[in-house]
Amino acid sequence: MNEIICKKCGMKYGYELCGPVYPGCKDRENADCPYCGETGYSTMTSQILVVTKLEKDDSPIENNKEGESDE
C-alpha cells in the first residue's frame, strides 16, 4: 500500500491498485482524499484503485460506563 499525506487537509491515507492488468481499456483512476476529496494521485490503468483511511477521524468517541460498579 502506498501512503499519501494530503496537501490540502494534512491527513494521511493509502491507496493500492487491485485486479488484473488488461492491454488497452485504460481509464483515469484517481486516489481522492477520503477526508476532503482532494486528488492526491492519478493514473491511467485497467485496474481498480482502492483508497483507505489511515488516521482516525477527529470525532471524539465517548465511553459509556453506565452499569459498571467499583467492587
Q: Is the pTM of this model over 0.85?
A: no
Please give the pLDDT value at position 57.
Answer: 62
Please give the pLDDT value at position 24.
Answer: 85
- Please write the tens of the pLDDT for every residue from 19-71: 999 888 899 999 999 999 999 999 999 999 999 999 776 544 444 444 544 44
**Boundaries of every domain in the chain:** 2-53
pLDDT range class, residue 15, cuts 50, 70, 90: very high
- 39 closest CA partner among 7, 12, 3: 7
